[in-house]
A and B are shown apart, each in its own frame.
Chain A
Amino acid sequence: MQALRGLLRKEWYHVLRDRRTLAVVLLMPVLQVVLFGFAIRTDVKDVRLALVVPRPDVATRELAARFEATDLFRVVRVLPNTAPLQPLFARGTIQQAVVFDADFGERMARGLPARIQLITDAAEPNTGTAMQAYASALVQEYEREQRARAGAVRILPQTRMRFNPTRESSNLFVPGLMAFVLTILASLMTAISLSREKEMGTMEVLLVSPLRPLDIIAGKVAPYLVLGFASVVLVLVEARLVFRVPLRGSPTLLLAEGVLYILASLALGILIAARTSSQRVAMTAAIAGTMLPNVMLSGFIFPIESMPVPLRVISHVVPARWFVEVARGIMLKGVGLEVLWQETAALAAITLVLLAASVRSFHIRLE
Chain B
Amino acid sequence: MRRILILAWAEVLHVVRDRVTLAQVLLIPLVQLLVLANAATFAIRDTPTYVVDLDRSPISRSLIARFAESGHFRIVGHSSSLALAERSLLEGRVTMVLSIPARFERTLVRESAADVQLVMNAEKGTAAGIVQSYAGRILAAYADELGRTLQPSPRTLAPVGEEAPPQRGAPRIEVRPRSWFNPTLDYKHYMVPGILVVLVTIIGTLMTAQNIAREKELGTLEQLNVTPITRGQFIAGKLLPFWGLAMLELALGLAVAKLAFGIPMRGSLVLLFAVAAVYLVAALGLGLWISTVVETQQQAMLVSLFVLILYLLMSGLYTPVDSMPRWVQWLAEANPVKHFVQVARAILVKGAGPLEVARPVGALVLFAVGILTLALRQYRKTSV
Contacts and interface: CB of A to CB of B under 8 A. Distances in A.
Nearest to B149: A153
B320 A296 contact: no
Interface string A290-320: 0110011100011101111001000000000
Residue among A89, A125, A295, A307 with max Cβ neighbours from chain B (10 Å): A125
Given A89-B180, A157-B116, A139 B125 contact: no
Interface in B326-369: 327-328, 332, 345-346, 349-350, 352, 356
Contacts of A140: 133, 136-137, 140
Given A152-B147, A283-B301, A292-B32, A114 B174 contact: yes
A140 B171 CA distance: 11
**Interface majority SS (helix, strand, loop, mixed), chain A:** helix
Contacts of B124: 172, 303
A38 interface: yes
A75 interface: no
B164 interface: no
A169 interface: yes
A256 B296 CA distance: 36
Interface string B105-144: 0001000111111111111111111101111110110111
B90 A339 contact: yes
Contacts of A202: none
B199 to A, nearest CB: 13
Given A38-B324, A42-B42, A43-B323, A113 B173 contact: yes
Interface stretch (A159-167, A216-224, A356-364): A159-167
Nearest to A91: B356
Contact of B40 (A108, A136, A281, A296): A296
B43 A306 contact: yes
Contacts of B166: 112-113
Interface string A113-134: 1111111111111111110111
B35 A292 contact: yes
A77 interface: no
A118 B113 contact: no
A158 B119 CA distance: 8
Contacts of A35: 310, 314, 328
Nearest to B27: A288
Interface string A137-150: 10110111011111
Contact of A332 (B123, B175, B301): B123
Interface in B140-180: 140, 142-144, 146-147, 150-151, 166-180
Contacts of A192: 298
B313 A196 contact: no
A45 B174 contact: no
B122 A125 contact: no
A127 B132 contact: no
Contact of B130 (A32, A130, A184): A130
B61 to A, nearest CB: 14
A288 B112 CA distance: 60
A130 B129 contact: yes
Nearest to A85: B180
Interface residues of B, number: 106
Residue among B144, B305, B320 with max Cβ neighbours from chain A (10 Å): B320
Interface string A30-51: 0010011011111111100000
B41 A130 contact: no
A84 interface: no
A118 B171 contact: no
Contacts of B182: 122-125, 128
A128 to B, nearest CB: 6
A210 interface: no
A119 B305 CA distance: 40
Interface stretch (B183-191, B236-244, B281-289): B183-191
Nearest to A293: B35
A336 to B, nearest CB: 10
A163 to B, nearest CB: 5
A198 interface: no
B2 interface: no
Nearest to B316: A124
B120 A161 contact: yes
B167 A155 contact: no
Contact of B173 (A142, A166, A287): A142
B108 A155 contact: yes
Nearest to A146: B171
A13 B173 CA distance: 72
Contacts, number: 331
A126 B189 CA distance: 12
B136 A120 contact: no
A90 B343 CA distance: 12
B183 A160 contact: no
Contacts of B301: 280, 283
Nearest to A116: B175
A273 B309 CA distance: 22
A301 B124 CA distance: 10
Contacts of A158: 115-118
A184 to B, nearest CB: 8
B10 to A, nearest CB: 19
Contacts of A123: 180-182, 189-190, 345, 349-350
A329 interface: yes
B113 A148 contact: yes
A127 B320 contact: yes
Contacts of A190: none
A171 interface: yes
A184 B305 CA distance: 10
Contact of B151 (A124, A149, A153): A153
Nearest to B297: A280
Contact of A139 (B92, B173, B313): B173
A284 B24 contact: yes
Given A129-B44, A163-B123, A41 B319 contact: yes
Interface string A186-204: 0010001000100000000
B248 interface: no
Given A119-B180, A155-B114, A136 B125 contact: no
Contacts of A305: 45
15 contacts: A44-B126, A125-B185, A132-B177, A133-B129, A136-B177, A143-B171, A151-B112, A153-B143, A156-B116, A159-B132, A160-B118, A162-B89, A162-B122, A167-B122, A188-B305
Given A125-B185, A184-B309, A188-B305, 10 more contacts: A46-B322, A90-B346, A112-B168, A123-B181, A127-B322, A153-B150, A157-B139, A159-B119, A162-B122, A296-B40
5 closest cross-chain pairs (CB), A and B: A167-B125, A152-B170, A122-B179, A161-B122, A133-B133
